[in-house]
Structure 1
Amino acid sequence: MFLASLTMLLPGIARAQSDAAYTYYEAGDVSAPTPRTPTPGLMLIGGGDWSAEAWRWFANKAGGGHLVILRASQDGSDGNWLLENIGGLASVQTLVFSDRSAAFDPRVGELVAKADGIFIAGGDQSKYVRFWKDTPVAAALNAHVAGGRPLGGTSAGLAILGGTGYGALAAEAVGSAEALADPRGAKVTLVSDFLTVPFLENIVTDTHFTERGRLGRLIAFLAQGRGAGQTDLIGLGIDEDTALCVEGDGTARVFTESGGHAWLVEPEGAPRFAAGGALDWDAVTLTGLGPHSRIDLTNMTVDNPAFEGTAKVAAGDLRDVPVPPQRRDWALAIHGGSGVIERGDLTAEMEAAYRASLQAALATGSAVLEQGGTSIEAVEATLRILEDDPLFNAGRGAVFDAEGRNQLDAAIMDGATMQAGAVAAVSMTKHPVTLARAVMEKSRHVLLSGEGADQFAREQDIEQVDPGYFRTERRWQQIEEWRRDNLSALALDPTHRFGTVGAVALDRNGNLAAATSTGGLTGKRWGRIGDSPIIGAGTYAANGKCAVSGTGTGEYFIRESAGRQVCDRVAWNGQSIAEAADATIGSIGVLGGDGGLIAMDALGRIAFAMNTEGMYRGAASSDHPAEEAIYADETLANED
C-alpha cells in the first residue's frame, strides 16, 4: 500500500500511487534518524531462502537505518518480513518498477540516493537491464556503493552486480548444455558497462548455482567474455539459501541455510571454439567456499576452501567437476513395484529372477554414471532394461486393461532444468521412457497421450512394435481372472500388485533426475491414467532438493502430489530425505492409499519408503556396490 508518511521524507512521492511506472511500499518509521553511520559491504545471495545471519550482518552495515528494496515484480511484503524476523532496521521501503520511465523520476532518484542500504530482489534481470541501464537509477546505485554504503542482491538482483553480467535478454534463458555448445550463441546475452561495484569489476556472477546446474553456463559466459578480450574475467556462482558477504576491505565469508557454497571459477588460458561453436577448455579451476572458508576478492586467495578441483570442457561437454563435501560422486536407486510381498510368497526361482533383474538394471545405470554420463541418461537406460523385462509391469510386462489392451505410461524429469516429459496410453512404442524423454527434449509439451503420442514417437524414429509384443501369458491370465470375477487379478496374485518401475539418479555434476514407467492397473477402464506420468505426483526432480519415483495406488499419489511433496518437505520443513519420504507415504496411507516410493536428495542420500509388505528395489553409488531388496524388513547399505 501507499503511505502518506513518505511525503514527510520526500515531498510528492506518495502521489506515485497513480503512477503506472512504479509502485511504492513502506514498512517501519521512514522519518526515524539513522542510528549509526553506514559502512561498506556487499551481500551476494544465490536465491532461495534468505540467511538470517547474513541479513543481520547487512542491517548492521546499513547502520540500522533505512533499507530500500528495488524490484520489478511482486510487492513490498519483504519489508514487513525483515522488520519482524530480522530487525535492526528503522524502515524498509520498496520500489516495484514496471517501466523504464520510472528510472528518470526525480522522486525515485531521491529515494535511492537517501538509502542507507539497498537490496535488489530476484525476478527477471532483463527487466533491470532494460529499466535501469544508462539511467539515473544506475548512476545512483554506483554513487551509493562509491559512498561507502552497503549493497545486496539475490538471484536476478545478484546477476547484474558483476562488471559483466548475464542479462537474460533472449526470449528464453540459456541452460548449461546449450551455452557450452555455443558460448557465443544468440541466447548467451552478456551485459557490460551497467553497474560499477567494488571487487566485482572482473567477475561474472550466477545464482541458483548447484540447484539448477549452472556451472556449465557460467564457464560459457567466461568463454564469451575472454574470447572478446576480457582476459581477466572470472566467475562467482552462489548456491541457493547461501550468501557471500563482502567486507569493505574485500574479504568475504559464506552464510548458508542449507549447506550451500560459493563457487570461484577460474579458467586457465584461452578458450577454444570448434567450427560449430562448441567450447573446449582444458582446465577450469574450481574452488568451493563454505562457512569456514575466507576469500580475499582483491587477489582471489582462499583460506580453508570447502573443496577444490579442476574441471575441463571438451566439445561442449563439462567433465571432472569436483564433488562438494558430503555429496556422493554419483548415486542410483530403482524400484520395480510395491505390494503384498511377504517371505514365502515367491518361489526360490522367482525370487532369484527378480533379484537378478534388479541387479541388471542397476548395472546398466551405474555404468552410465561411473563413466561420467548424466542423470537423465542413467534413469532412461535403467528403465529401458526394466521395460524389456516381462517380470515388471512396464513395457514388455505391462498388464492388460479391461478391453484386453496394453496402455503404457511413462515420465522423466531433469532436476537441473526442471524440464519434464511424459506419455500416457501408448500402445506401440517399445520403450515409453525414451518417448517421454523425446517429449521433454524435442517438443514444447510435457504430456502426450494415446495415438498422438505414438505418432510423435514415429516422427522421432523411436522404435515401434506390434501391440502383440506386449502380450505375455501371465498378464493375460490376470486379465482373464479379472473378467471372470470382476475383481482385480491383483487380489489373486498379490506379489504383483504394483509393478511400476522407476529410477532416480545423481550424476557427477550434481544433477538429479527421475523417471517412471508403468502399464497401469489390471482391468483399468475409461482411459484411466495413474500417477506415473503426472509430474509432481509419481515423478519429480529438482536440483538441490530431491528426485522421486512412486509406485502404488496412483489416485492417492496424485491427490497428495507425492513427488513434489517429498521435495517440499526437504526444502521447506528441513526434513531429511528419509523423513520426508516416510511422512509422504504416511499422508497417502491416511487417505487410504498404499504403495511406496524411492527418493534421493542433493547429496545422493537414498530413501525407500513403503506402507506395504515389500517393494522390489535396489541401489548403487560411488560409495557402495549395487544391492537389491524385496521384503520390507531388508535394509541396504546405500540407504540413508
Structure 2
Amino acid sequence: MGLVAVHTGAGNFVNEDNYKILCKRSSKKACDLLDSGNGTVLDAVELAIKIMEDNPNTNAGYGSNLTWDGRIECEAGIMDSITSNFGACTCLNDVKNPISLARKICDKQSSLFQFGRLPPMIVSSNGASVLAKEFGLEIINESELISRKAQNTYNYYRRKITEYEQSNAIQISRLDTVGAIAVDDYGNVACGCSSGGILLKLPGRVGQTASFGAGCWSQKINNQSLGCVTTGNGEYIMKTLLAREICVNLINNECPTTKLYQVFNEKFLKSPMLPRNQEKYAGCLVVDYNSDTKRGELLWAHTTKMLCLGYKASKQKSKFISSSLPDQTGAGHKVIVGGISF
C-alpha cells in the first residue's frame, strides 16, 4: 500500500487544466514507484517533485519566478520520518532539479564527514552548486531554467512598477510552491517542497521551503504517521513554523479536520508573531496515517483563493482536487479546510 499526494501551490490559477494534468501525472508516477517495491517514500517524493520542477507552469525549477534583478534563485527541502533527517538547498541557479540536491543533503545527515565534521543541513548559492557537481547531479545554464512564462511575468510586473513607481499599488500573485507527501504501508512518511520564491524577491532571499519546520515536516510516533507541506507567504510561514506546528497538534487527535482548522486559525491567522491587519496567504497539504489500522486522512487547508492538489493511493486512480474559498473576497483572512479518507 502507498499514497502520494502533491500540490501545485496556493494562489489564483489562470488555467486549471494544466495543474490537473500535472498533479495526476506526478502523483501516479510516484505512487507506481512506491507500489513496485523499487523505491522508498523519499524516492517517491523526489520523483513527484522532479516532475513538477520540470513543468514550466509551476514556480519551481524550470519556470521559477525571477528575482528583482531578473535572476533565477531556486530552493528545495525534504524530510524523512524514519531518520528525522532534513536536507535543503537555496539560492540555486544552475541545478536542474533542486529537490535532488536537497535529497542528497538529507541522506548525508546520517553520517559524519571526514575528520568527524558534521554534514550540513542547508546549503546555499555557490556552495550548493559545488556540492551538486560532486554528487553528479545535472548542472545547466541559468538561462535554461527561465521559462517564457516566467520571463513574460517578470517583464509585466517590472513595467507596471516603473509606471506606478510604488510596488504596493500592484497585486503580485504566484505563490505556487510545489510540494509532495508519500506514505507506505508501514507508516514511513516523507515530505518535500520546491520553489522559485516570491515574484520579484530580493536576491539572496531564503523562503520557507528551505527552512526547517516551516516548509515541510514528517514524523512517526508509534503507529501514527504525520506529514505536512506548506505554500504561501514564506516569511509568515517561517515565523509560525507552520508545517511542524500542524503535525504536532494533530498527534493523537480524534478529529484531524477540525484540529487543522483550529491550528490554521490560532497558530497562523491569529498568531501574535504576525501583523494583525495584513492579509496572510498560506496553504498546506497533510497526511495523517495509522499503520495499525492501515487507514489515514488526506487533509488540506488554505487562506488563498485556490489550492490545487492531486493524489493517488495504491489500486486507485489518480485524482485531482481544486479547493477554493466560497467567498473569495475574504482571501487572506479566512481559512477553508477539506479532507478525504484513504
- Shorter-chain-normalised TM-score: which range? 0.7 to 0.9
- How far apart are 1:530 and its partner, in Å? 1.1
Q: Are residues 398 and 564 of structure 1, via their aligned partners in 2, closer, same or farther at CA, if it must alter by over 3 Å? A: same
- How far apart are 1:390 and its partner, in Å? 0.4
Q: Are residues 609 and 435 of structure 1, via their aligned partners in 2, closer, same or farther at CA, if it must alter by over 3 Å? A: same
- How far apart are 1:516 and its partner, in Å? 0.3
- How far apart are 1:432 and its partner, in Å? 0.5
- For 1:151, the equivalent position in structure 2 comes to none
- How far apart are 1:526 and its partner, in Å? 4.4
| Distance across 1 between alignment mates of 2:230 and 2:154 | 24
Q: CA offsets per residue over residues 148-179 of structure 1, 9 Å max, x none?
A: xxxxxxxxxxxxxxxxxxxxxxxxxxxxxxxx
| Distance across 2 between alignment mates of 1:594 and 1:457 | 32
- For 2:285, the equivalent position in structure 1 comes to 598
Alignment-mate amino acid for residue 519 of structure 1: G
Q: Are residues 548 and 466 of structure 1, via their aligned partners in 2, closer, same or farther at CA, if it must alter by over 3 Å? A: same
Alignment-mate amino acid for residue 583 of structure 1: Q
- How far apart are 1:595 and its partner, in Å? 1.7
- For 1:577, the equivalent position in structure 2 comes to 256
| Distance across 2 between alignment mates of 1:569 and 1:426 | 33
Matched, 1:368 2:33: yes
Q: CA offsets per residue over residues 499-527 of structure 1, 9 Å max, x none?
A: 11000110123201100000001110142
Alignment-mate amino acid for residue 434 of structure 1: S
Q: CA offsets per residue over residues 449-498 of structure 1, 9 Å max, x none?
A: 01100110001101111101111121112222332233389836x4xx21
| Distance across 1 between alignment mates of 2:170 and 2:188 | 37
- For 2:226, the equivalent position in structure 1 comes to 546
Matched, 1:448 2:140: no
The residue correspondences of 1:66-105 to structure 2 (distance < 5 A) are: none
- For 2:134, the equivalent position in structure 1 comes to 459
- For 2:209, the equivalent position in structure 1 comes to 532
| Distance across 2 between alignment mates of 1:555 and 1:636 | 25
- Count of residue pairs the alignment pairs up: 301
Contact 1:577-1:606 at 8 Å conserved across structures: no
- For 1:353, the equivalent position in structure 2 comes to 18
Contact 1:545-1:567 at 8 Å conserved across structures: no
One of 65, 70, 81 as aligned partner of 1:404: 70
| Distance across 2 between alignment mates of 1:551 and 1:636 | 16
- How far apart are 1:631 and its partner, in Å? 3.5
- For 1:474, the equivalent position in structure 2 comes to 149
Matched, 1:566 2:246: yes
| Distance across 1 between alignment mates of 2:325 and 2:31 | 25
- For 1:626, the equivalent position in structure 2 comes to 318
| Distance across 1 between alignment mates of 2:246 and 2:157 | 34
Alignment-mate amino acid for residue 447 of structure 1: I
Q: Are residues 555 and 637 of structure 1, via their aligned partners in 2, closer, same or farther at CA, if it must alter by over 3 Å? A: closer
Q: Are residues 489 and 619 of structure 1, via their aligned partners in 2, closer, same or farther at CA, if it must alter by over 3 Å? A: farther
The residue correspondences of 1:239-318 to structure 2 (distance < 5 A) are: none
- How far apart are 1:426 and its partner, in Å? 0.8
Alignment-mate amino acid for residue 554 of structure 1: G
- How far apart are 1:575 and its partner, in Å? 5.5
Contact 1:605-1:639 at 8 Å conserved across structures: yes
- How far apart are 1:623 and its partner, in Å? 6.5
Q: Are residues 624 and 633 of structure 1, via their aligned partners in 2, closer, same or farther at CA, if it must alter by over 3 Å? A: farther
Contact 1:588-1:594 at 8 Å conserved across structures: no
| Distance across 2 between alignment mates of 1:609 and 1:546 | 15
Contact 1:624-1:638 at 8 Å conserved across structures: no
Contact 1:423-1:436 at 8 Å conserved across structures: yes
| Distance across 2 between alignment mates of 1:489 and 1:393 | 23
| Distance across 2 between alignment mates of 1:465 and 1:491 | 32
Bigger CA radius of gyration: 1
Segments of 5+ residues of structure 2 without an aligned counterpart are 110-118, 162-166, 291-295, 327-336
| Distance across 2 between alignment mates of 1:531 and 1:363 | 26
- For 2:112, the equivalent position in structure 1 comes to none
Q: Are residues 430 and 580 of structure 1, via their aligned partners in 2, closer, same or farther at CA, if it must alter by over 3 Å? A: farther
- How far apart are 1:633 and its partner, in Å? 6.5
| Distance across 2 between alignment mates of 1:488 and 1:482 | 12
Structure 1 moving runs of 4+ over 4 Å: 633-640
Superposition CA RMSD, Å: 2.3
| Distance across 1 between alignment mates of 2:168 and 2:140 | 27
The residue correspondences of 1:489-500 to structure 2 (distance < 5 A) are: 491=171, 494=173, 497-500=174-177
- How far apart are 1:580 and its partner, in Å? 3.8
Contact 1:581-1:597 at 8 Å conserved across structures: no
Alignment-mate amino acid for residue 311 of structure 2: A
Q: CA offsets per residue over residues 36-87 of structure 1, 9 Å max, x none?
A: xxxxxxxxxxxxxxxxxxxxxxxxxxxxxxxxxxxxxxxxxxxxxxxxxxxx
- How far apart are 1:638 and its partner, in Å? 4.2
SS, match of residue 429 in structure 1? coil
Alignment-mate amino acid for residue 211 of structure 2: I
- For 1:306, the equivalent position in structure 2 comes to none
Contact 1:359-1:628 at 8 Å conserved across structures: yes
- How far apart are 1:418 and its partner, in Å? 0.2
- How far apart are 1:529 and its partner, in Å? 1.1
| Distance across 1 between alignment mates of 2:308 and 2:153 | 20
- For 2:45, the equivalent position in structure 1 comes to 379
| Distance across 2 between alignment mates of 1:488 and 1:371 | 50
Alignment-mate amino acid for residue 472 of structure 1: S
| Distance across 2 between alignment mates of 1:403 and 1:593 | 26
Matched, 1:415 2:90: no
Contact 1:547-1:600 at 8 Å conserved across structures: yes
TM-score normalised by the chain length of structure 1: 0.45
| Distance across 1 between alignment mates of 2:188 and 2:226 | 10
Q: Are residues 632 and 456 of structure 1, via their aligned partners in 2, closer, same or farther at CA, if it must alter by over 3 Å? A: same
| Distance across 2 between alignment mates of 1:588 and 1:528 | 22
| Distance across 2 between alignment mates of 1:558 and 1:402 | 21
The residue correspondences of 1:503-514 to structure 2 (distance < 5 A) are: 503-514=180-191
- How far apart are 1:567 and its partner, in Å? 1.3
Contact 2:4-2:31 at 8 Å conserved across structures: yes
| Distance across 2 between alignment mates of 1:352 and 1:537 | 29
Contact 1:383-1:433 at 8 Å conserved across structures: yes
SS, match of residue 551 in structure 1? strand
